[in-house]
Amino acid sequence: MGEAAKKIVVLGGGPGGYVAAIRAAKRGADVTVVESGPLGGTCLNRGCIPTKTLIAGVDVLAKARAGAAYGFSVSGEVTPDWARMQLRKEEVVGQLRNGIHTLFKKAKVKLVAGRGRLAGPGVVEVEVLPEISREEETAPAPEAAARELIQRLEADAVIVATGSEPLHPSFFDFSQPAVMDSTELLTIERIPSSLLILGGGPIGCEFACLFAELGTAVTIVELLPQLLPQEDARAAKQFQSALRKKGIEVLVKTRLESVTEYRPDQVTVTLEGGRTLTAEKMLVAVGRQPNTAGIGLETVGVAVDERGYILVNERLETSVPGIYAIGDVTGGFLLAHVASHEGLVAADNILGGNRERDLRYVPMCVYGLPELARVGLTEDDARDEGFRPVTGTFRFGALGKALALGEGQGYVQLVADHDTDRLLGAVMMGPHVTDVIHEVAVALEAGMSARRFGRIVHAHPTIAEAVMEAAQDVNGESVHVAG
């Protein structure tokens, strides 16, 4: 069968699924996406974009309140309008969602609104939803068969991109109005007076920063010795200090023993040691789980691990020929940018390519206030892998652009191999580091040495200069580092 005639069905229209679909369609494939909700998946509708839009709002709020430090005054009290913030969030999400529909239309990707399941080799059955939501109205109209209750799709290849959802431990009663996951908290009707967050990972920390700026009394409870357990210890410690300066109570190495009382307007818990905490709302942010139930994996024999994540090789092939899986549903990095990368790899491989996913230099970002970013190896990671690491550091407190922005908190640290000077990784905390981390990712991919990187001219004044200065500091060559 020629490449142009290849039929592909994609289960899921999130950042992995829709990217794979468009890539394959642009290469001549006949592509159908099956999606039970609005296009864009968790990232666009219930995760990345909504949270960053709200955090951008409270960042402006904080700067307005600090107007005197910037040389201006604001008459009257600066207060948040939560309803307007929610409306702006929906406007941003809607604009991006409509953009995906437009891309589908131009690439001739067909969209079926329904729940898909693998029914046999090359066969997907779709429980078609009776109505398409308003968000789907600009999508290409489904074929006539989509009006049937069950639509049968045949394909040469299937890509499973069904994503993940918040983990709901049975320890908590999620039917109680005071207990929420991240999806529910995003659409809460009013700002809570107090918020207890269980889990100090990126999701918990971002919500803590958001609601603390809105005036909510926030407490984070984390079982492990530091917030952001996967991050560099020094960065996590400084981030934790920054949160405490915002009035956020941070309890690490703390176990929740029991939920003492549920009420419609509050929840009370008991911690290890006997302390009780009461909050109007409780966010449970202790992990995510794959959306694999009811999609027919067992019917066709797709192998999964003990947690239900689909097992794939580096080409994103599952244990069943012709079935691929990408993104959160495969475990590992539960990140939208990884899902998109894997979507491109899977689409190319289906159409005759021989690509493997490359996750060596995946940027890891925490979009808090301040931001934190990492790529490659930390100093401890490098040592554990047998390198003799050497570091270079530059503080934002000595950087012109950071001080001009009024954001001199934080630093950039680069890690290099002592023997070869090759760059191994970077950790950053401070303004816009989730943007500038990518130039280090490029340098790592290129195998650059710290000295070579440090000699690349950076514009002045910019936040990116701190990365150049840190690279120079690896070899003691930064003129702006004392000593």
Residue 140 pLDDT > 50, yes or no?
A: no
Catalytic residues: 460
- Of residues 160 and 133, more confidence is placed in 160
- Return the pLDDT at 148: 55
Residue 3 pLDDT > 70, yes or no?
A: no
- Return the pLDDT at 149: 81
Residue 133 pLDDT > 80, yes or no?
A: no
Average pLDDT over residues 157-183: 97
- Return the pLDDT at 222: 98
Q: How does the average pLDDT of the chain come out, rounded?
A: 94
Residue 197 pLDDT > 60, yes or no?
A: yes
**What crossing angle do the helices spanning 17-26 and 82-107 adopt, rounded to 10°?**
30
Distance CA 195, CA 379 (A): 35
Please state, in angstroms and as integers, the Cα–Cα distance from residue 35 to each residue in 12, 70, 139, 445, following that order: 5, 47, 12, 35
DSSP state of 142: P
For residue 40, which of 167, 135, 182 has the smallest C-alpha distance?
135
> DSSP E strands: which ranges in 377-410?
389-395
Average pLDDT over residues 6-18: 98
Q: Domains along the chain?
A: 3-46+88-165+289-350 (3.50.50.60), 179-286 (3.50.50.60), 370-474 (3.30.390.30)
Distance CA 423, CA 85 (A): 41
**Tens digit of each residue's pLDDT (9 = 90 or more) over 65-101:** 999 999 998 888 899 999 999 999 999 999 999 999 9
Average pLDDT over residues 237-242: 97
- Return the pLDDT at 146: 44
Structure tokens at 152: 């049968």
- Return the pLDDT at 456: 98
- Return the pLDDT at 131: 54
- Return the pLDDT at 483: 72
- Return the pLDDT at 139: 45
User: Residue 358: exposed, middle, or buried by beta-carbon count in 10 A (0-12, 13-18, 19+)?
Assistant: exposed
How many helices and strands in the chain, by DSSP H and E? Answer: 15, 22
- Return the pLDDT at 398: 98
- Return the pLDDT at 74: 84
User: In the structure, what pLDDT confidence band is assigned to residue 482 with cuts at 50, 70 and 90?
Assistant: confident
Residue 9 pLDDT > 90, yes or no?
A: yes
Residue 422 pLDDT > 80, yes or no?
A: yes
Q: What angle do CA 473, 478, 483 make, to 5 degrees?
A: 85
**Tens digit of each residue's pLDDT (9 = 90 or more) over 260-312:** 999 999 999 999 999 999 999 999 999 999 999 999 999 999 999 999 999 99
How many of the other CB atoms lie within 10 Å of CB of 78?
A: 14
- Return the pLDDT at 1: 42
User: In the structure, what pLDDT confidence band is assigned to residue 5 with cuts at 50, 70 and 90?
Assistant: low
Average pLDDT over residues 170-194: 96
User: Residue 399: exposed, middle, or buried by beta-carbon count in 10 A (0-12, 13-18, 19+)?
Assistant: buried
Percent of the chain predicted with pLDDT > 70:
95
DSSP state of 57: H
Residue 242 pLDDT > 70, yes or no?
A: yes
Structure tokens at 333: 């990095």
